[in-house]
Amino acid sequence: MASSLLVLLDDISSMMDDVATLTKVAATKTSGVMGDDLALNAEQASGVRVERELPVVWAVAKGSLLNKVILVPVALVISAFAPWGVIPLMMIGGLFLCYEGVEKMAHKMLHREDAEQAPTVLAHPELSADALVGVEKDKITGAIRTDFVLSAEIIVISLGTMATAPISQQILALTLVSLAATVFVYGLVAGIVKLDDLGLMLHRQGRALGGVILKAAPLLMKSLSILGTAAMFTVGGGILVHGVHAVDVVIEGWAHTAGPLAVVAKPALDALLGVVAGGVTLLVVTLGQRVLRNGPASS
């Protein structure tokens, strides 16, 4: 009996070693998407009242965990029984990211004054409690919706690195990657949104670093806002490019002509295609909404 227990423990230890290896490989492959997820969510969490920053981040983090609770079993089932459906579903998600990115840019250009006030609207002292709850809810919902697509890509990429592993190892490794991604992204987001508080505390203590942080924090948030929007196009466009082999070959060929800049050229071309795809989708959606609003009688 003792020997059987030792064999069991050895099997468990061996499996956990394999799971750790799978998790490490998957985390490496998905690090770029996690970076995009970080930029997007740091932007989404900015602009709220100081006392509401961490609650908003926590609400989005819980939504992200729920996304992954849904996505992990769904991804495993689709991969096992309908692997042909993975790419089309990812392309729909990628197109949605591109559409959201273009819609966001269009809103900023067409409603520039509102866009300039948007980052501080939640911090306005005269905002009523009901209005605050409503705006926060919309902000959190939008962040969770975007996280759903990025989480799906993280899981699909991770699953691709462990396709030949036993199902038990896939489940454990995907669970670990999902948890690690959520803790990593939202832990950093929480740190970023509270960076100005850290700077203020150090400044009051007479430390020069506090002043540096206070000056750098707004620039960091503005940079993350730009990077967050760009991430929508690079991730969304990249998914679309990867989904159509002929387009992927052309984009890769163009990128290689840039020589040493090929590493930058590929994401830039993906983003460009993402902008075009998002613009076309926004146009179709806008026209569709007008047709539905006017109804068949007006025609």
Provide the terminal-to-terminal Cα distance of the chain, rounded to the nearest Å: 82
Rounded CA gap, 139 and 65, in Å?
A: 17
pLDDT of residue 299: 45
Q: CA-to-CA distance for 188 and 186, rounded, in angstroms?
A: 5
Residue 121's pLDDT is 47
Q: Between 38 and 213, name the one with better pLDDT.
A: 213
CA angle at residue 191 from 187 to 195, to 5 degrees?
Answer: 175
Computed over every residue of the chain, the mean pLDDT equals 78
Q: Is the pLDDT of residue 117 over 70?
A: no
> Quick one: what percent of the chain has pLDDT higher than 70?
74
Which is it for the CA torsion 236, 100, 92, 281, positive or negative? negative
Per-domain residue ranges of the chain: 23-228
Instruction: Identify the pLDDT of residue 119.
Output: 47
By residue count, the chain amounts to 299
φ, ψ of residue 271 in degrees (nearest 5):
-65, -40
Distance CA 172, CA 80 (A): 16
Token code pair at residue 271: 């983003």
Q: Give yes or no for residue 236 having a pLDDT over 80.
A: yes
Least confident of 63-72, 115-124, 130-139, 157-166: 115-124
Residues 64-71 have a mean pLDDT of 92
Q: How confident is the model at residue 7 (pLDDT cuts 50, 70, 90)?
A: very low
Tell me which residue of 184, 162, 211 sits closest to 33, measured CA to CA: 184
How many whole angstroms from its chain centre is CA 299?
Answer: 41
Within 10 angstroms of residue 23's Cβ, the number of other Cβ atoms is: 22
**Rounded distance between C-alpha atoms, residue 62 and residue 91, angstroms:** 25
Which one-letter DSSP state was computed for residue 43? H
